[in-house]
Amino acid sequence: MLDWTVPGYRAVRELRRGTSATGLGERTVLGTHLATGLPVLLRHLDGTLPEADLDARRADARLLAAVRDAHVAHLYEWVETDLGVALVRQYVPGASVRSVLRGSRLAPAAGLVTLRAGLLGLAAAHEQGLAHRGYKPENLLVDAEGTVRLADFAASRPPHSPVDPSATATPDGPAATAGGEPAPPARRDGFDDERARDVRAAFATFVAAVTGGDNPDKLPRKLRGLAGAAAALDGAALLAALEPAARAAIGADWHQRGARELASLVAKAQPTSRKGQR
Amino acid sequence: MQTNTELWLDRTLRTGAVGTWWSAGTPGGGTLGMLQLEPDLVAQEAARQRVAAVVAKLRAANPPGVVRTTELVYETRRAWLVVATVPKPTLADLLAGHGGSPLPTGAAAGLAVDIATALRELHAVGLTHGDLAADTVVLTGAGAAALTEVGVLAAIQDAPADVTRDARAWAALARTLAAVAGAEESGLLVAAATTAESGDLTAAARRLALAAASLPDFETRDALAASLPALDQAAPPRIPAQRESTVDRIGGPDGTVAPTGEAEPTVTVRLRFGPGVPDQVLASTSPVTAAKDEPAPPRRGWLRRLFSRR
């Protein structure tokens, strides 16, 4: 199939090409919006999506478009054509957390900045009823000033597919049941589960970025308490615990230090970072 | 005074927001550029008069960094803007044509400074661009950037002069250039774009120029200039595939350009949320089918100049 691009945009450079989880060709292209010159990222899914999948993805696009938050890469357009589907989103010049890591670890301050931004981005999306469903370092984008944005919502697997209950279970169980209170009724579409999985993935990503593994006990001592807050799988509670822990572990200027560290990593990673932005 | 000099239309270059650019030949063997304004856009006498007023002002001021507009020509129902040089390649061509190879160091910052300087010259004489984008910036043979289509879209739309709109558009261009520049240069461009987004284009340009002066080759445009002929060869004329009204264009994309070698999709559903107005949802939930109202190209032939050069 010939490559195609969204009318009104000019393709500048292909960043990534592969096959999506559903077997469709997937291309990520850096482009410009002809009318304004704005750089954008175009994600093309080539081929025909099943109707149900298309409906769900379109619904997710509408939800994502309503998320206007500084920690989320904005969705500009959803386009369906005879050749496939494309999403046009804000281009974040810089690099993904995956690219800046390059197999090494983030300093705790930098890791905390990514966790805070990720949780704020998730909160804004959850507020609109949208789960990320694919939170990982590749989807955390850092610009030249160390600002972090969460990107590529709802791209990792078919929307609203059944959630594996074992995937959300934790040794402590969800907070709602810990105190003997009955758990709130789960939404039929599994949104509550997906929201909890997002929060868990955000914390796991943070732990992996800072420690290189999955054991929160290897975090700096004053940050280990975050694991307790994270186990509740409640993003707001984790955010509330993050600020005092960060101040205690690093100091009042933890955020500035973290952003500076990230900016410096981006500057080093930049020559190859464009391949890292998905 | 009326000169009745005749011009020969050569070939189409591109279609933009307000019409189609052509290269044209002169009786003396020279070449120049002609922009055929979209007939629907200048169907009203009032719109034609506003465009004429902008052209008159541009001719009088002749600001540096702007492709010189020599006259406005009417041929029956058509209106043509004539400029002194063939306006190609554009910055958009440069961005598209460079593919995987990086711009010469300093070139991106140099071009951004050129554009900002030209905008400031325009603003100083009471003009604004109103439609600054990668396809309204032309690269000169010396490797510098120059502006085209100055004030035309704003005149057609009867939009007020808006200096901050130019500053925001410059910031967007700077971010585009940052995306294709080297790491150090990219950081400078992003910082300058952030300053310009607050409306202070002058401060943004000054800081960028000062910071970028330390980059290798910032002042010498030789490397970029040397790459332009090949770029020109690689940028064949593009065909307009779909035009939308200028009202739609304010929030979303304008006339469509299909990159060479790519298939042209038929759009069935298009939900727009920007990026022209990032804080406003422009979504249309009704399916949109690609328009087929491609304007007929003007007849290849002779044109009569009705207005003389100053």
Dump the DSSP string for A31-47. Answer: EEETTT--EEEEEEEES
CB within 8 Å of A24: residues ≥ 6 apart: A45, A46, A47, A49, A84
Summary mean pLDDT of chain A: 81
How far is B182 from chain A, CA to nearest CA, in Å?
A: 7
Distances (CA, A) of B138 to B90, B244, B253: 4, 24, 20
Q: Which two tokens stand for residue B278?
A: 């990032």
Residue A46 has φ and ψ, to the nearest 5°, of: -85, 135
pLDDT in tens, A79-137: 888 888 999 998 888 889 998 888 789 999 999 999 999 999 999 999 988 999 989 99
CB within 8 Å of A21: residues ≥ 6 apart: A156, A157, A158
Among candidate residues B77, B118, B90, the one with its CA nearest the CA of residue B33: B90
Determine, for residues B270 and A75 on separate chains, whether the beta-carbon distance falls below 8 Å.
no
Is the sign of the CA dihedral B80, B86, B88, B90 positive or negative? negative
pTM over 0.95: no
Whether A33 and chain B come into contact, CB under 8 Å, resolves to yes
Determine, for residues A66 and B281 on separate chains, whether the beta-carbon distance falls below 8 Å.
yes
Distances (CA, A) of B86 to B32, B54, B309: 5, 20, 17
Tokens 């240069």 correspond to B185
pLDDT for A171: 33
Highest mean pLDDT among A25-39, A51-65, A73-87, A228-242 belongs to A228-242
Determine, for residues A39 and B172 on separate chains, whether the beta-carbon distance falls below 8 Å.
yes
Average pLDDT of span A154-168: 46
Determine, for residues A58 and B269 on separate chains, whether the beta-carbon distance falls below 8 Å.
yes
Q: With a CB-CB cutoff of 8 Å, which residues 116-175 of chain A face chain B?
A: 143-145
Determine, for residues B169 and A3 on separate chains, whether the beta-carbon distance falls below 8 Å.
no
Q: Which two tokens stand for residue B67?
A: 């492709």
**Could you say which of B99, B100, B134 has the minimum Cβ distance to residue A37?**
B134
Determine, for residues B269 and A79 on separate chains, whether the beta-carbon distance falls below 8 Å.
yes
Beta bridge partners of A143: A94
- Which residue of B lies nearest to A77 if distances are taken between CA atoms? B272
Per-residue burial over A216-240, b = 16 or more CB atoms within 10 Å of its CB, e = otherwise: beebeeebebbbebbbbbbbebbbe
**Could you say which of B17, B178, B267 has the minimum Cβ distance to residue A79?**
B267
Determine, for residues B172 and A38 on separate chains, whether the beta-carbon distance falls below 8 Å.
yes
Q: What is the C-alpha separation between B188 and B261, in angstroms, rounded?
A: 34
Q: What is the C-alpha separation between B39 and A179, in angstroms, rounded?
A: 72
User: Residues B87, B13: contact at Cβ < 8 Å?
Assistant: yes
- Listed in order, strand segments (DSSP E) in A125-253 are 140-143, 148-150
How far is A260 from chain B, CA to nearest CA, in Å?
A: 13
ipTM above 0.90, yes or no: no
Q: What is the C-alpha separation between B78 and A236, in angstroms, rounded?
A: 62
Residue A265 has φ and ψ, to the nearest 5°, of: -65, -40
Q: What is the C-alpha separation between B143 and A106, in angstroms, rounded?
A: 41
Residue B191 CB neighbour total at 10 angstroms? 18
How far is A233 from chain B, CA to nearest CA, in Å?
A: 31
Domain B91-231+296-308 has CATH 1.10.10: no
| Residue numbers in B near A37 (CB within 8 A) | 132-134, 169, 172-173, 176
Distances (CA, A) of A18 to A23, A53, A182: 9, 19, 44
3-state secondary structure B194-207: HHHHCCCHHHHHHH
| Residue numbers in A near B184 (CB within 8 A) | 267
pLDDT tens over chain B, length 310 residues: 334 456 777 788 888 888 889 888 877 778 899 998 988 888 888 888 899 999 999 999 999 899 999 888 876 667 889 999 999 889 988 887 654 456 777 888 889 989 998 998 899 999 999 999 998 999 988 788 999 999 999 999 899 989 999 999 999 999 988 888 878 888 899 999 999 988 889 888 888 888 877 776 665 566 666 656 655 554 433 323 222 222 122 112 222 222 334 566 777 676 666 543 332 222 222 222 222 233 333 322 233 332 223 2
Chain A to chain B Cβ contacts (< 8 Å): 174
Interface probe, candidates A12, A13, A64, chain B, greatest B C-beta count within 10 A: A12
Q: What is the C-alpha separation between B94 and B224, in angstroms, rounded?
A: 10
User: Residues B258, B241: contact at Cβ < 8 Å?
Assistant: yes
User: CATH assignment of B6-86+235-273?
Assistant: 3.30.200.20
Q: What is the C-alpha separation between B198 and A152, in angstroms, rounded?
A: 28
Q: Where in chain B is the domain with CATH 3.30.200.20?
A: 6-86+235-273
Interface probe, candidates A6, A13, A14, A38, chain B, greatest B C-beta count within 10 A: A38
Q: Where in chain B is the domain with CATH 1.10.510?
A: 91-231+296-308
- Please count the CA atoms within 13 angstroms of the CA of B245 that sit on its side-chain side: 3
Determine, for residues B179 and A33 on separate chains, whether the beta-carbon distance falls below 8 Å.
no
| Residue numbers in A near B192 (CB within 8 A) | none
Q: What is the C-alpha separation between B244 and B234, in angstroms, rounded?
A: 27
| Residue numbers in A near B258 (CB within 8 A) | 5, 7
pLDDT for A1: 56
Is the sign of the CA dihedral A22, A8, A35, B31 positive or negative? positive
**If pLDDT is split at 50, 70 and 90, which confidence band does A19 have?**
confident
pLDDT for B167: 94
**If pLDDT is split at 50, 70 and 90, which confidence band does A50 have?**
confident
Q: Which two tokens stand for residue B32?
A: 């120049």
How far is B272 from chain A, CA to nearest CA, in Å?
A: 5
Q: Which two tokens stand for residue A274?
A: 């464009």
- Listed in order, strand segments (DSSP E) in B109-254 are 137-139, 145-147
Determine, for residues B133 and A36 on separate chains, whether the beta-carbon distance falls below 8 Å.
yes
